[in-house]
Amino acid sequence: MAGVELTTVRKTYPNGAEAIFGVDMKINDGELVVFVGPSGCGKSTLLRMVAGLESITSGTIEIDGKVVNDVSPSERDVAMVFQNYALYPHMSVRGNMSYGLKNRNIPKAEIDQIVEKTAKTLRIYDYLDRQPNQLSGGQRQRVAMGRAIVRNPKVFLFDEPLSNLDAKLRVQMRIEIKRLQRSMNVTSIYVTHDQTEAMTLADRLAVINEGRVEQMGAPMELYSNPASLFVASFIGAPQINLIPVRFEAGKLGNGSLSLSGFSDLPTDTDLVLGVRPDALELGKSDQLKMNVELIEQHGGENLLYGALAGVVDKDGNSTEICLKSGQETLPAINEVLELGFDVSQAFVFRKDTGERLQ
Amino acid sequence: MKRVQFEHSPIPYLFVAPQIIIIVVFFLWPAGQAIYQSFLLEDAFGLSSQFVWFKNYKDTVLNDAWLQSAGFTLFFSAIVTFLSLALALLLAVKANEVIHGASTYKTMLMWAYAIAPPVAGLMGNLMFNPLIGDMYQFMNATGMDFDHKLDGFDAGFVVILISVWKQVSVNFIFFLSGLQGIPKSVIEASTLDCKSSFRRFWTITFPLLAPTTFFLMVINITYAFFETFGIIDTTTQGAPGGATTTLVYKVFQDGFRGADLGGSSAQSVVLMLMVLALTVIQFRFIERKVHY
Amino acid sequence: MNWRILSTHLILTIGAIFLTLPVWVAFASSTHTAETILREGLQLFPGGHFFENYNTVLFVEGGVMKKVTALQMTGNSLLLGLGFSIGKVVISMLAAYAIVYFRFRLAVPLFWVIFMTLLLPLEVRIIPSYKVVADLGLLDTQAGLIIPLIASATGTFFFRQFFRSVPDEILEAARLDNANAWRFFIDILVPLSKTMIAAILIIMFVVGWNQYLWPLIMTTKEENYTLVIGIKQIYQILNEGGELPQYQKAFALTILATLPPVLVVLVFQKWFVKGLVESEK
């Protein structure tokens, strides 16, 4: 049980490519922090640097107060669950789970006890004597987790462990992982590109983009208070509505769109207005007009997609927006809806830097 | 077999014919001849022959020269296999680890495959030549009184050294390919579980190399049995006193030089049986035991 | 950490030297005169007689053997290497195609017949093979040299494995396109196999070039010697003869015998390795 601290961590590859541009963060003991971001953003690299599988070009990583830059992976007391499980193909499930403990010279009786207990918790007790190639994907995943759990490490590392599972299994395992982490109270770092996974699992979330941490905080904090355009559009499903606007004469506008309630915004630059689909309300006012094009019925809720009336860009394309509504009567296609939103729930970003202004 | 196949066509017969014909004429017929010949005893001029059942087998197989040759062959195969596998494995593991100059090293370690055994034999022969060979001087300088023309042990040393030298490249290529076939993430997982790289190698890497290793063992034993003929023929010719005569070399000697057709054929048949046993083992064990 | 990297490089370098030094010494020694070698032993650095020695060996009649020149021997080796590799590929591909893609009564027994060749390496049937070839009047001929060698099972097994890995759908699509057995083979299967064919050709060229036992017993006239056989003969010549043993010529011959296959292996390294590893049964 320990905290992890990263201080100005940088990584540059021998060929000059920079992967991580200086990351600072402090992860508290027992916390589950999720690194989330698009493919190639560096989240896995960062995780592997904590594990010791990638070298650190500059900066320090501390685990439990000790600098581990030059400590070998097996001595950092971390355990990792790999995306493709990385089970030892020539060992049985029991062998896989015992291997790490054997190498630490723990007596066999104790190893057997720990392995069997963990296997029962993960419901893989019946498979202890099977080989990995005799197991299904979900079973293998649990063995990979078991292998990490028996080590009783200071930090758990998860590298997209659920990506190779089918959707239903993914949801199941997500819940199981959260439960386990809570009960074991082990500091954990979890990497995923799936924002739903991130939002539901994390105590705190770090959104990573192109080697930099854009924002770190509790999930709801990032949801309702995104620091940048990237964070706002990455977090939240369906994606936030983004409307290109300019601030003129005290109003935020574009084309026939004109919205009041905004102030203190730069006048000479392109801005982006962000409004979440669930912040839009039907009929309250006519701030926005939407021409309905597509309706998605999700059972408990409906998503209405359409073109924002009166806003057209240089190529003649309109901005698409999305409205989340309940089970009331559905509008027809091509109907024009009048939507309103609370200005305090909207975000304004600079288009060029993505910085949030309001 | 394939799910979809052609039927009712003369083509398969046509296509398979060339190979079958050659096999019948040059493999099966001579093999049959060898077996038949092994039951005959010919006189010195090859004019008449006598059917003697298993006399040739008894005479040949139970005589001292054959037993010495068999013993040497087994010993020789074991050592050459072990040494060339061990060296190649070491080099392959290191070549897999290194980053700078990897491809240069690999090329330099691989190319010796192209050298023919007799060529390697001649080069080795000249290196150990009493007149000009540095190796000869080197061995004697260590105070050993080395003379491979006289001492059976020294002769064996020379032949073994050259045979291993020649075979390292092939094993290296296969080991390297085998190493690269192990998923990187499995190795990474092992670095988290185990501190000592030595231990990691023997508990994870080496077991996962098992298919390659078994395959190479068969290849190497076959090499030691048969292909080393070229090396022996250009170095010691089985001398001194039959100390470096492998079973194959003996077949050649007795048949071509000694004109003992019956005996030589009997030895050929015995060799055939040994190869059969080896092949059976290969297919039984390798296909069965080591597949993850 | 650094110590580890250093030891890795050290081991690799020692290995590389171990494998290359003998050949380098052979080359260096081949560029000196016989006297130098006899006086000083094996040479580490090249001397000045490169052109002279190789010229004698390659072009001068009686330069290295009693009659034939190394150039002629090179020609023989080349014929053997090319003939063997091409012959092997053609025969194996045809046979493998027949066995994999056709349902015919003799398929299984014929497969086992081919398999049996694995049990009968040349060394086991030397004398009767020699007799058969002699009886057919094929001694000292290219045909007699090449043909008996090309029918062993390894090539067929390799192609069989490869063909089995070709998806069935391709054959089905071809049949829908009205391709008959011959067309399918020529228009589809062969082009698909191009990489494998190249790899096998390369490996078999080296194997053919390096053949020893069979050419040894089959060629009696000097002008039919391959370079590899020349090696054997020169060994005997070295030990006879009253004059100074011409070691530099022996070395030159070994270099010549080694050069083409080594070049092939180096230039085509990737294909060669691929073919070798793929042919793992």
pLDDT at B58 over 80: no
Geometric angle at alpha carbon A290, from A285 and A296, rounded to 5°: 115
Give the dihedral of Cα atoms A97, A103, A105, A106; nearest 10 deg.
-10
User: What is the tally of structural domains in chain C?
Assistant: 1
By the 8 A CB rule, do B152 and B244 touch?
Answer: yes
pLDDT for position B289:
54
Residues of C within 8 A of B16 (CB-CB) are: 94-95, 98-99, 110
Chain A CB contacts of B204 under 8 Å are 88
A139 pLDDT tier (thresholds 50, 70, 90):
very high
Domain of C21: which CATH number?
1.10.3720.10
Closest chain B CA to residue A100: B193
Average pLDDT over residues B183-195: 92
B291 has a pLDDT exceeding 60: no
Residue whose C-alpha is closest to residue A14's, from A42, A44, A54, A49: A54
Chains with at least 3 CB pairs less than 8 angstroms from chain A: B
Across chain B, what does the average pLDDT equal? 83
pLDDT band at C63 (very low <50, low <70, confident <90, very high): low
For helices C194-209 and C153-165, the axis angle rounded to 10 degrees is: 170
Model pLDDT for residues C36-52, shown as the tens digit of each residue: 777 777 778 887 788 88
B292–A86 C-beta distance less than 8 A: no
First to last CA, chain C: 40
Chain A, 77 to 106: residues with Cβ < 8 Å from chain B are: 78-80, 82-84, 86-90, 99-100, 103
Q: Which CATH number fits domain B56-291: 1.10.10.10, 1.10.3720.10, 2.40.50.100, 1.20.1250.20?
A: 1.10.3720.10
- Residue A165 DSSP one-character state: S
Note the ipTM here: 0.84
Q: Residue A207: which pLDDT band, with cuts at 50, 70 and 90?
A: very high
pLDDT in tens, A88-108: 999 999 999 999 999 888 999
Burial class for B257, CB neighbours closer than 10 Å (0-12, 13-18, 19+): exposed
Chains that touch C (3 or more CB pairs under 8 A): B
Which of C53-62, C190-199, C222-231 bottoms out in mean pLDDT, i.e. has the lowest?
A: C53-62
Token reading at C182: 């011959």
- Paired with A338 in beta bridges are A289
Please report the pLDDT score of residue A316 as a whole number: 65
Mean pLDDT of chain A: 87
Q: Which of A72, A78, A86 shows the shortest C-beta gap to B185?
A: A86
What is the distance in angstroms between the Cα of A182 and the nearest Cα belonging to chain B? 23
Please give the pLDDT value at position B43.
Answer: 64
Domain boundaries of chain B, sorted by first residue: 11-51, 56-291
Question: What confidence tens digit (pLDDT) does each residue in A41-56 have?
Answer: 889 999 999 999 998 9
Place of tokens 């294909």: C271
Residue A270 is predicted with a pLDDT of 85
Q: Regarding beta strands A241-248 and A212-217, do their DSSP bridges make them parallel or antiparallel, or are they unpaired?
A: unpaired
SS3 state of residue A212:
strand
By percentage, how much of chain B surpasses pLDDT 70? 91
CA quadruple C151, C156, C159, C164: dihedral, nearest 10: 160
Residues B91/C12, Cβ–Cβ less than 8 Å: yes
Cis peptide before B240 (omega within 30 of 0): yes
pLDDT in tens, B1-46: 566 677 767 778 888 888 888 888 888 888 888 888 777 777 656 6
The Cα–Cα gap between B7 and C107 comes to: 12
Residue with the bigger pLDDT between B152 and A164: it is A164
What pLDDT shows up at residue C240? 65
Task: State the average pLDDT for chain C.
Answer: 83
B115: contact with C, CB 8 A cutoff: yes
Write down the pTM of the prediction.
Answer: 0.84
CB B12 to CB C124 under 8 A? no
Least confident range from A211-225, A318-332, C110-124: namely: A318-332
- Domain boundaries, position C224: 3-279
Where on the phi/psi map is residue B282: left (φ > 0), alpha (ψ -120 to 50), or beta? Answer: alpha
For residue A271, pLDDT beyond 90: no
What is the pLDDT, as a whole number, of residue C281? 43
